Amino acid sequence: MDQIFSKLTFRTNGEGFIDITHDLNLFIKKNNFHSGIFNLTSLHTSCSLTINENADPNVLRDLKKYMQSIVPYDSYFTLSKNREEISYKHYQEGSDDMPAHIKTSLTNTALSLSFQDGKILLGTWRAIYLWEHRIDQKERIVNVHIIGEKKQNKYNEIK
């Protein structure tokens, strides 16, 4: 069992999704790993790592719209009887910053995935996305870490 650490950098383009699946599978291949655990850690508190459908682009569009709708900029209304309006106390870094922290909390900044035969096990029509929650372009770093086997046929396959 070997391990390897590195960092991948992505340039985001405002709120939305960047498909990072290919870069991750390339990292496995380049480092000659066959099978193991692939740990991803976003080093930020205003973007997420998420897995979702990569077939119809409207899925990502609806997903972004939903998150913007339940975590609005500036203020939001509670779901309690009095329907109170709440403003963010942390607003100094922009009206999209505190909502971005909340969106991050409702999703994930770390993913622990399994890979086999040099490829992350995902299923059909699924991709791994870096989900940017800030309006501005950002440079985002994802820490990549593998623990696994470098040589083939050293693990047991159950049919």
Q: Which is nearer to a copy of itself, 11 or 106 (CB)?
A: 106
User: Minimal distance in Å, beta carbon 41 to a copy of itself?
Assistant: 6
The reply on whether position 101 binds a copy of itself by CB under 8 A is yes
CA 70, distance to chain mean position in Å, is 19
Total residues interacting with a copy of itself, rule: CB under 8 A:
79
Q: CB within 8 A of 14, min separation 6: which ones? A: 132, 134, 135, 136, 137
Residue type, 94: G
Q: Does 104 bind a copy of itself (CB under 8 A)?
A: yes
| Structure-block tokens of residue 24 | 């991750």
Residue from 13, 95, 112, 137 binding a copy of itself (CB under 8 A) = 112
Which 117-136 positions form the footprint of a copy of itself (CB under 8 A)?
Answer: 121-126
Window 9 to 28, contacts with a copy of itself (CB under 8 A): none
Q: Nearest distance from residue 12's CB to a copy of itself, in Å?
A: 15
CA distances from 50 to 46, 74, 108, 110 (A): 13, 25, 7, 9
